[in-house]
Amino acid sequence: MDVLNFLAHLMSGATLLLFAVRFMRIGIERLWSPRIRKNLSGHTSAPSLLAKGAGLGFLMQGATVVMLMAAGLAGSGTIPLLSAALLAVGADFGSALAVQFLTLPVGAIGPLAILIGGWLYLNASEPDRRNFGRVILGLGLVFLSLSLIRQAVAPLQQFAGAGTVLAYLNGDPVTAAILGLILALAMHSSLAAILTALAFASHGDLGVIGGLGFVIGCNIGSALLPVWLLRADHGEAASVAKSVAALRVSLGALCLATLSLPYWDAEFLASLPVYRTLLMAHLGFNLMLMLLSPTLPAILRLFPVTETDAEEERILLPENEQDPRFLAAALRGQVNRMLELLIQMFETATGHSGNLADIDALETRLNRALSRLRETYARLPEMPEEDAQDIRQIMDFAIRIEASGDLLSGKYAAIRREAERREFVFTEAGEAEIATLTDQVRRGMVLARHVFWSGDPAAARDLVLHKQYVTNLEADSKRQHLIRVRSGNLLSLASSDGHLELVAALKSINSKLATIGYAVLDKSGELANTRLKAKAGAQDL
């Protein structure tokens, strides 16, 4: 009965810790997600990327989320593979710094953080203040969960057989490492696993050797977790995760082999403060990873990207995954591949000798990708309304991408075919107007892709203004065309249907993609008190 009571108290504390970390992380993402993604997209030097990763790992209270974000950006071609790997290594060090902070003797602020954060979360009407309250409340709950874990572990020494088990772990770092690896994978968080290990070290007679083995196992587990989550991927994202895991696992195996040597001074180890030694070992391990980062280019070459014709069909969704963050990241990666296909279709369709068979093949792949996305969406678990709304916006953007592809392969391609068969000829002025509109739609695609990944309100405003600019260009082209028709220009008269339908198709494609800008502005609250929201809803997209 004592064992069951111990397990119940320990698991309740660990569960609260996982909830608190996730609860706080959601608030951080909603407050600063656009700025975070914008920082991740930067092409800077290696030290700067490591520093950015460290800051984000500390801010997000864990490295896995930063790894997935960086891998997603690498998969979309936004940043190079090496930049993504450096960000991930820096995030590991930032997560180790977060462990240092959470173990400071500041537990007295826990009740105050719960009081202030809880009041803001329950009473604030503004989304930003409410999310700030979520962050503070989450921090207070972290401290509360750690105190519960310590209280659960404190009577461990009184249990019959507990001393024997801990003595075995203290003499077998490999077994301790395996337990740490399993715990990190089970918790989906090396930070939570390390904090639990520290509680055992502080109150459960876990020795230096066993504790160091456990810490190494937790670090290896945190390296394998992204590889497991991206196991269905064979592209850039998986290459980044595997490369960082290879570096981390290699260092962990080397440290574990060194720890297993029979030449350690038992009296010296017994004199070390276990709690502080484990803390410094975890920080030192991740600092060594940063120092070994120059080896990443060579490691990346060991995991080449596997190209496949069906790349866009795969949904990188971990089986039985329940975390909305991972679900959204997987769906976002699929939609990004659809957007890349659409851009490829657009370049093919607007070329002077566009291959119609290539356009049709790309349209087939785009339709297939959307079908896979719908099937995955139908299998998603229940989730909070705020998270469900984010995923609905991702799905809405995917539907508009596919509709844009229909326009390119349908009406647009048909008009281009007629022009190539010389069924009509555009005037020089008409060709210039279409070329200008085409260039601006191409620019709108680039803006839409940036807004989709970064969630940057400033870029979203630019996208919405650009949509209006393209709409004005289309209206002006129609007006100029009708002036030419009215003046008796026979070329304009013969090409009238083609010209009007072509510029309308270009405007419609641009408008469909620009809706992601309205979604971002709506989420940031910038449409609430304007007439833009009503216009966006009324616009025929």
pLDDT tens digit sequence for 219-245: 898 888 888 877 766 677 788 889 999
58 touches 98 (CB < 8 A): yes
Rounded-to-integer distance, Cα 354 and Cα 171, Å: 69
What is the structure's pLDDT at 537? Answer: 39
What residues contact residue 288 under an 8 Å CB cut-off, 6+ apart?
A: 251
What residues contact residue 158 under an 8 Å CB cut-off, 6+ apart?
A: 2
Provide DSSP, 22-60: HHHHHHHHHHHHHHHHHHHT----HHHHHHHHHHHHHHT
Q: End-to-end alpha-carbon separation of the chain, Å?
A: 64
Query: What six digits make up the tokens of 343?
Result: 């851009």
Model confidence band, residue 313 (pLDDT cutoffs 50, 70, 90) = very low
Rounded-to-integer distance, Cα 346 and Cα 212, Å: 55
Rounded-to-integer distance, Cα 228 and Cα 205, Å: 33
Rounded-to-integer distance, Cα 405 and Cα 413, Å: 11
- Asked if pLDDT for residue 70 goes beyond 60, the answer is yes
Mean pLDDT of 281-290: 92
Task: State the residue for tokens 């060709």.
Answer: 431
Please tell me the number of Cα atoms within 13 Å of 242 on its side-chain side: 18
What is the structure's pLDDT at 285? Answer: 93
Q: What share of the chain in percent tops pLDDT 90?
A: 11
What is the structure's pLDDT at 248? Answer: 92
What is the structure's pLDDT at 311? Answer: 46
- CB-count burial class (<10 Å; 0-12, 13-18, 19+) for 261: exposed
Report CA 305 to chain centroid distance, whole Å: 19
pLDDT tens digit sequence for 82-99: 888 898 899 889 888 888
Give the count of beta carbons closer than 10 Å to the beta carbon of residue 367.
15
- Asked if pLDDT for residue 51 goes beyond 80, the answer is yes
pLDDT tens digit sequence for 450-495: 888 777 888 888 999 999 999 999 999 999 888 888 888 877 788 7
295 touches 251 (CB < 8 A): no
Segments making up each domain of the chain, as ranges = 2-300, 317-538
Which among 511, 501, 453, 228 is positioned nearest to 331, based on CA atoms? Answer: 453
Model confidence band, residue 423 (pLDDT cutoffs 50, 70, 90) = confident
What is the structure's pLDDT at 108? Answer: 63
Model confidence band, residue 308 (pLDDT cutoffs 50, 70, 90) = very low
pLDDT tens digit sequence for 162-174: 556 666 777 788 8
Helix (H) or strand (E) segment spanning residue 230: none
What residues contact residue 10 under an 8 Å CB cut-off, 6+ apart?
A: 149, 152, 153
Helix (H) or strand (E) segment spanning residue 423: none
Provide DSSP, 352-375: TT--HHHHHHHHHHHHHHHHHHHH
Query: What six digits make up the tokens of 1?
Result: 């009965």
Q: Which residue has the higher pLDDT, 365 or 32?
A: 365
Task: State the residue for tokens 């993504």.
Answer: 84
Please tell me the number of Cα atoms within 13 Å of 30 on its side-chain side: 22
- Asked if pLDDT for residue 295 goes beyond 90, the answer is yes
Rounded-to-integer distance, Cα 459 and Cα 521, Å: 10
Rounded-to-integer distance, Cα 72 and Cα 236, Å: 8
Rounded-to-integer distance, Cα 431 and Cα 437, Å: 10
What residues contact residue 36 under an 8 Å CB cut-off, 6+ apart?
A: 29, 56, 59, 60, 69
Q: Which CATH architecture has domain 317-538?
A: Up-down Bundle (1.20)
Residue type, 532: L
Mean pLDDT of 46-59: 84
**Is the overall model pTM greater than 0.85, yes or no?**
no
Provide DSSP, 249-311: HHHHHHHHHHHT-TT--HHHHHHS-HHHHHHHHHHHHHHHHHHTGGGHHHHHTTS-----TTG
Which among 396, 361, 376 is positioned nearest to 316, based on CA atoms? Answer: 376
- Quote the DSSP letter at residue 380: P
247 touches 295 (CB < 8 A): yes
Which among 25, 19, 13 is positioned nearest to 91, based on CA atoms? Answer: 25
Which among 415, 414, 333 is positioned nearest to 369, based on CA atoms? Answer: 333
- Asked if pLDDT for residue 536 goes beyond 50, the answer is no
Strands of 41-111, DSSP E? none
Q: What share of the chain in percent tops pLDDT 70?
A: 79
What is the structure's pLDDT at 309? Answer: 42
